Structure 1
Amino acid sequence: MSAAVHRDWSGLPEDLMLIVMRALAIPDLLRAGAVCVSWRAASADVRRIQFPITDASPCLLYTCAADADDTATVYSVSTGALFKVRLPPSAAPFRSRHVVGSGHGWVVTADDAPRFQALNPLTGAQVDLPPVKGLDDVNIFSADQARLQRPGEIWRYIYLAYLSCSPANGSACAILLVHQCSGYLYFTHVGDDRWTKITTQNTSLQLDICFHSAVYNQNDGLFYVLSFNSSVFALDLSGPSPTTVRTVFTGREEVVLEWLGYKHGPRGNIILTPWGDILQVWRSKRRYMLNTLIFNIPESFIDDILLCKVDIHEKRLVRISGEDLRGHALFLCFNASMCLSTKDFPGLKPNCAYVTNGSWRQVFITKFGSQEVGIWNFETKILESLGKVQSDHPWLDWPSPIWITPSLS
């Protein structure tokens, strides 16, 4: 009986090894780089091509018509680099998902199962979140589903999800779920089997109002939530029971409406700046009727964006200009809003806002209509193009494009 032949895979010719590496998806490429020194070197060479991101600035995550359903495009607005990522066969196709939030390199998605999942689009890692059947709001909209002729689907559009840290950190990661219509808030931790509803019994938070957005503060470990009337609340979700730490600011809806000229349905984002200010960004829309195959609905486009600072000491909102961003750029969408220094990322434009759609109604509409993605110039009040990428690698309307900060963790 002949002796077994032991192949030394580290001795593959370099050109052959590169061919093999180029055929691997990013998760397999990372694993291959851990085999041996020669594979690590080949993996690093291919990674520079397949993952050409050289800084930690936000990227636009979206799908292209020319790609398969399991493939997403990642575009860096800072460097202009673009690459494709392919989800593993075990994952639901990216094009079948609705993105409800992002943070720390992960996105939170909702699909037809129905279920929520946290997904790292670069590594393919997935974390199942508690089932939606524990959410009261899924049943609340059953009548509307029939009226809109989209049974079993509208629930996906109405939630926003916010992460305290990477889901790879396990139970240390808290997820806040915001229902944009009912005023309900839920939270969970990675590994929990249910969503906990935040109620007037376990907090002092007023819950008969609609919430527009939230953000997590790494410095104090609190979630800051923005309501429709510009009020700001702070929540501590680190333990099994939520607590309202404080009402940070009590606002008045008519102030924002007056500043925007009483335009229709402004949507708000809350932002924490590196210098310690709390900003509110309110978008107003101009509306047009869009005729679809199912029903007639209004299509909306950004008409104006209002910048405000919360003056904690004077207990009022203060209007500010783009110049007050101190050379920083804002990123606005379903994700946790970001404020980044353009000195750290010279490819970004200072004192402006990088935006995608931020309203669940608009996302519901744009499954049939158009996406609004670009750079808002606060001085000219014009939404500028992201550049050549829009013509060379155009995005589909679904799922809605979103900002992520790519991470291999």
Structure 2
Amino acid sequence: MEMCSREEIMDLCRQAIHQNMCYVVPRVLPQQLCLPPPSPKDELHSTLTKTSTRKFSDLPHDILMDIIAMLEIPDALRAASVCSSWCSVHTKLHNLGKYKRPQTPCFLYTSQSIGENIACLYSLAEKRTYKLTLPEPPISRRYLLGSSDGWLVTADERSEMHILNPITGEQIALPSVITINQVTRIFNHKGVLCKYRYSRHTAEGVTDSPMTLPLDKLRYFFHCKAFVFYDKSVKSYIVVLIHNPCEQLSFARLGYDKWTWLPPHLRFQDCTYKDGLLYAVTSLGEIFAFDLNTTVITAKIIMDRTKEYSRERIYIVQAPWGDLLQVWRPPQGDGRGYDEITGRSALVSNTGRTKLYRVDTLAKELVEISDLGDHVLFMGNNQTYCLCAKEYPLLKANHIYFTDDSECLALRTLWGFRLDIGLLNLRDKSVEEIVSPRLWLKCRAPVLLVPNPRKMNSTCHN
């Protein structure tokens, strides 16, 4: 065929992508995409049928690769389903980790009523829900501990942890929970693991008597929040876990067989990672930095405590312009509200009173800031992100997208309480629904996820 211009190829891509609109995305395997039958009256379909399959398959792969690399995940998947040639280009991009476009964050949520191995992905870019088929163990039975860099951290029904990329389906088992200092095994008379002994040991000593818990219950008492960070210095990933008692820190490197405990500090609520250092903030506003690549890991104090008692939930985030930020989110409200599930009064969100601070690391003090300008913040049961809205034109600048990450979240979801999820306008402090009616009624609380179409092995070599 004659050589097409880049503009002509872009036009063909748009036609093909729109023709392959889909609502169900099982991982990233194009051959498994569930596509609706085309309508004979569809103008795009009429245009597309006039274009031969060979015309698509003969398009230059180097230009196709550049174009597909700039698409949002749903459009890239649709492009891959056009023909075998485009699928091979998509697969090559996927394997080499050459996607260029920053992916717009999504909400991921699960429910057994949807399907045990199905997760729903609500796209903030398209305002549309996709369904993903994920590997065993069933995602609907797992406890979602957090998300970072496109990876979920989950705890299964034996309270064992995995990291999972819901876009690629890649999954890696983490070291056993029994390698964490406070957890030991209990066997029955047949030698079968049946329970865990959960010690209340902290860096300051034993705070209470130990608990004996069924395998599936440990995760609700012990696991708090988890993060996946890429360590460029050793070209590998680390997973950081905030866990009880008293919200301590442990970390594990992928490929290692145990967790490493980070005493002696307590009450951690959020973490971020930059230039080889793990930064962790406590409920009293303290910030500690850990160099995880040293033989003896010590904590360097970046910020002393800024308050004497714990009330707000506190987040830490590295802003694109270089500042380290703290975000203070007040607790739930006074119960004057309406719950869509029970039809009764419900807790009112106080997220509208969220405060932002710049961390002055030289003076070791917090400087309150009023807004984010042309940036947007994501906080909740995920790594806290601050993104430039100019790179994500479908997001609202100077807003905070937030999800519920209260300490009793599992029970709140089980009992049907209204979850604290929404969109905060930092200019006037108003709060609105992200989508109405809520998609996650009678579902577990959603997690904010930045889709990552790259395989871990390709990322590690970039």
Provide the TM-score with structure 1 as the length reference: 0.74
Distance across 1 between alignment mates of 2:302 and 2:234 = 29
* Mapping 1:157-168, distance limit 5 Å: 158-165=223-230
Structure 1 equivalent of residue 219 of structure 2: 155
Per-residue deviation, 1:61: 0.7
The question of 1:307 aligning with 2:307 is answered no
Q: What residue in structure 1 maps to residue 159 of structure 2?
A: 114
2:178 paired residue among 123, 126, 133? 133
1:75 aligns with 2:75: no
TM-score w.r.t. the length of structure 2 is 0.66
Is 1:92 aligned to residue 140 of structure 2?
no
Structure 1 position 387 matched with structure 2 position 435: yes
Unmatched tracts of structure 1, length 5 or more: 1-17, 46-52, 200-205, 258-263, 291-297
Aligned equivalent of 1:406: 451
Q: Where does residue 373 of structure 1 map in the other structure?
A: 421
Name which of 256, 259, 281 aligns with 1:226. Answer: 281
Q: Is the 8 A contact 1:213 1:227 kept in 2?
A: yes
Which has the bigger relative contact order, CA under 8 A and spacing at least 6? 1
Q: Which structure 2 residues correspond to residues 187-266 of structure 1 after superposition, within 5 A?
A: 187-199=251-263, 206-207=264-265, 209-217=266-274, 220-238=275-293, 241=295, 243-244=297-298, 246-254=300-308, 265-266=311-312
- Do the aligned residues in 2 keep the contact of 1:270 with 1:278 (CA within 8 Å)? yes
Say yes or no: does 1:337 pair with 2:384: yes
**1:143 offset after TM fit, Å?**
6.6
Query: In structure 2, which of residues 298, 308, 314 is the aligned counterpart of residue 268 of structure 1?
Result: 314
| Count of matched residue positions in the alignment of Structure 1 and Structure 2 | 350
Q: CA deviation at 1:287?
A: 4.3
Secondary structure of 2:390 counterpart: coil
Q: How well do the aligned residues superpose, as a CA RMSD in angstroms?
A: 3.8
Larger radius of gyration: 2
CA distance in 1, matches of 2:291, 2:139: 32
Match of 1:164, as an amino acid? F
C-alpha change, 1:54 and 1:397, in structure 2 (3 Å) is farther
Amino acid of the residue matched to residue 301 of structure 1?
Answer: S
Alpha-carbon spacing, 1:131–1:327, altered in 2? closer, same or farther (3 Å):
same
The structure-2 alpha-carbon separation of the partners of 1:150 and 1:57, relative to structure 1 and needing over 3 Å to count, comes to same
CA distance in 2, matches of 1:58, 1:403: 7
CA distance in 2, matches of 1:374, 1:221: 33
Residue type at the aligned position of 2:387? L
Give 1:27 deviation, angstroms: 4.2
Instruction: Indicate how the Cα distance of structure 1 residues 310 and 181 shifts in structure 2: closer, same or farther if over 3 A, else same.
Output: farther
Q: For each residue in 1:313-348, what CA deviation from the matched residue of structure 2 results, as whole angstroms up to 9, or x when unmatched?
A: 2221111112xx131000001211000011111111
In structure 2, stretches of 5+ residues that fail to align are: 1-18, 34-76, 91-99, 184-197, 201-207, 337-345, 455-462
Q: Is the 8 A contact 1:97 1:399 kept in 2?
A: no
Secondary structure of residue in 2 paired with 1:164: strand
Change (3 A) 1:180 1:346: farther
CA contact (8 A) 1:106 1:166 kept: no
**Where do 1:352-367 residues align within 5 Å?**
352-367=399-414
> Which residue is equivalent to 1:260?
none
In 1, Cα distance between the equivalents of 2:31 and 2:399?
36
Work out the CA distance in 2 between the residues paired with 1:226 and 1:56.
27
Deviation, 1:276, is 1.1
